[in-house]
Amino acid sequence: VPACPELDLYLDTAATTPPAAAVLQAMAIAQQQAWANPASLHGFGLAAAERLERSRQQVAHCLGCSPAEVVFTSGGTESIHLALLGAAAHLDPGRLLISAVEHPATVAAARRLQQRGWQVQVVPVDRQGRLDLDVLDALLVPPTRLVSLIWGQSEVGTIEPIGQAGTLCRERGVLLHVDAVQMLGHAGLSFRDLPVDLLSCAAHKLEGPRGVGALLVRSGVPLQAELGGGGQEAGRRAGTEPVVLAAGMAAALELTRARLGEGGPGPEGPLAALRNRLLTELERLPGLERTGPPPGAERLPHHISLLLRTASGQPLPARGVVRELARRGIAVSSGSACSSRGSAASPVLMAMGFGEAEAAAGLRLSLGSWHRWESVRELPVALELAIAAQSPATAS
Ligand SMILES: Cc1ncc(COP(=O)(O)O)c(C=O)c1O
């Protein structure tokens, strides 16, 4: 149950989540007891170093890896850049494969590699955003040296077949980086059992603090630091470590693990059941079409994505509806929120085969652990009113 009742109407957890009470408490304690620089040799520094390493062990325990495989970063964007640029620095320039539905952070890192002489090839997806494994398979030949794939797609909720893709990469000796930023709070994850070499995480999507994340780097995979300096994080990421934020990330992962243990997240958990009920109601509204896979193992359990249309069937730009709902106190996002500069058309929906007008009509609603049916039951009516208010016939 949220500390603040307005959180009932916050349906944008795929953008970010409010920190949980247990996270704030862990951070307050770390701030009091371990505020010093972990590199300092006095008692204050040793306390900070001890707290940092305890957080690293907690993170490693929750994610099924060894503490030495955890590099703390500032979040998803930095982890992705460190993974791709840092791994590529130890390889001869070759070909990087990415899917057609990556987060803009991966697209930006791929562009950097292009500037360093790499070719970048995009692997297509189907109408539901699922990676084409046959095309991936065919492209896993020289000069392909690196692959980067999103796991849980933020805009349309698709869970990509990372296990199968990773097995193919392993067979061909090609390094695989996975962007697990959206997946982390919603699935049990054991890095040691995944055929994945590098895995990017952020704390703020799972009720942890903003400004901290981790890159998991499989033992033996060489990685060049992007930031030089004091040689922290075993020479892989310089800069005085954010001890308090790392403590918050560890607490958030512990919370997720406890919820998973109770059957919390995942396709069978109560959050998925709530999402399914809400989606069923929304799909009854005229003109609304789900994008991405149906509820089940191929869809993030907290995630709803819809294409908006007017009563006459024309795609309806989602940004106006987002603003209309915001006026009614309901926080959702348009599908193209992550690429908010320039065109409103979502590159993700376009890659899935939607036209430009449809690609500007994507709406995303994402639920949090605190939501109950009472929190969201008004949403279908509010959305219907917002659509009517934005439709051309009634807008004037
Ligand atoms: C799938 C995915 N990857 C990467 C990121 C970037 O993470 P951060 O905002 O922590 O830099 C996000 C955030 O929206 C995301 O959803």
Question: What confidence tens digit (pLDDT) does each residue in 363-387 have?
Answer: 999 999 999 999 899 999 999 999 9
- Tell me how far apart the alpha carbons of residues 357 and 392 are, in angstroms, rounded to a whole number: 15
Q: Under 8 Å CB-to-CB from 5, ≥6 apart: which residues?
A: none
13-28: pLDDT as tens digits: 999 999 999 999 999 9
Tokens of 32: 């009091």
Give residue 152 CA to ligand 1 midpoint distance, Å. 11
User: CA 217, 222, 227 angle in degrees (round to 5)?
Assistant: 80
Ranges of beta strands (E only) in 15-162 are: 70-73, 95-99, 119-123, 144-150
Average pLDDT over residues 70-76: 98
pLDDT range class, residue 118, cuts 50, 70, 90: very high
Asked which of 36-50, 164-178, 311-325, 380-394 is least confident by mean pLDDT, the reply is 380-394
Average pLDDT over residues 29-33: 98
Q: What are the residue numbers of the active site?
A: 338
Angle between helices 318-327 and 379-390 in degrees, nearest 10: 120
Helix (H) / strand (E) element for 169: namely helix 162-171
Written as one letter, the residue type at 323 is: R
* Cα 128 to Cα 159, 287, 357, distances in angstroms: 10, 18, 18
* Cα 245 to Cα 44, 231, 252, 253, 394, distances in angstroms: 17, 19, 10, 12, 48
Residues counted in the chain: 396
216-263: pLDDT as tens digits: 999 999 999 999 999 999 999 999 999 999 999 999 999 999 988 766
Q: Under 8 Å CB-to-CB from 154, ≥6 apart: which residues?
A: 14, 103, 181, 182, 338
Written as one letter, the residue type at 29 is: I
Q: What is the 3-state secondary structure (H, E, C) of 256-272?
A: HHHHHHCCCCCCCCHHH
Q: Residue 359: name the closest of 374, 330, 339, 379 by CA.
A: 339
Candidates 79, 150, 181: which one to mutate for ligand 1, based on the most atoms within 8 Å of Cβ? 181
Q: Output the residue whose Cα is nearest ligand 1's atom 9.
A: 76
- Tell me how far apart the alpha carbons of residues 379 and 207 are, in angstroms, rounded to a whole number: 23
Residue 83 exposure: Cα atoms within 13 Å on the Cβ side: 39
Instruction: State the DSSP code for 347.
Output: H
Candidates 12, 13, 103: which one to mutate for ligand 1, based on the most atoms within 8 Å of Cβ? 103
Determine the pLDDT at residue 244.
98
**Residues with Cβ within 6 A of ligand 1?**
75-77, 103, 105, 150, 154, 179, 181-182, 202, 204, 213, 338
